[in-house]
Chain A
């Protein structure tokens, strides 16, 4: 069984469109994250939710909006897509009892290409 899953795996779309990426974890974890990996492989946190509450919101454009319907799901909606949004987006989860201490487990990634 997949621990952290993301859909879709690949997403190709035109500039200006709105798209969503879905993430689900079956590990029973309390905290979920979105990371962006750019073309140089650099990984940066975007958002984090703990028990459906937003706890991290890095300097990300307002066009990006996370939504957590329950603690097993964290979706990422992107409005008005721009060329610079092309990247690989990773979802992750952890059982946070001590922030920073707990291992984050990552999904397979969603490669977003904006044309």
Chain B
């Protein structure tokens, strides 16, 4: 069965610090998709990124970057120079050849001014 583990329950940083969120996944499928979503205090779920299993290239979008390593089954997310608006719960999710997303338990990030 597929599984997504976000070992960090909570992370607290001071503004401008970098923060890295870990995501480790388990699947026997060779084709799969990985996602990150953000849930700010207002409660909605915001899509951040999608990656397929054949593309290990790292991605950067502004202050956000993602490191995908198949060798360690990890898809980690880094926020550079964090801001208070980055405070949220961040979810990693795994999509296989069905219609479901399997979510990790989420990591709560608190950025203090």
B43 engages A109 (CB within 8 Å): yes
Given A108-B43, A108-B44, A109-B44, decide whether A101 and B52 contact each other with a Cβ distance below 8 A.
Answer: yes
Interface residues on A, range: 20 to 34
Residues on the A chain within 8 Å of B105, using CB? 40-42
Expressed in whole angstroms, the Cα–Cα distance for A106 and B91 within the complex equals: 13
A100 engages B96 (CB within 8 Å): yes
29 contacts between A and B (CB under 8 A): A33-B99, A40-B105, A42-B103, A42-B105, A43-B91, A43-B106, A45-B101, A48-B100, A90-B45, A92-B45, A96-B99, A98-B97, A99-B97, A100-B33, A100-B95, A100-B96, A100-B97, A100-B98, A100-B101, A101-B33, A101-B52, A102-B95, A103-B50, A105-B47, A106-B37, A106-B44, A106-B47, A108-B44, A111-B43
Chain B residues within CB distance 8 Å of chain A: 31-33, 35, 37, 39, 43-47, 50, 52, 89, 91, 95-101, 103, 105-106, 108
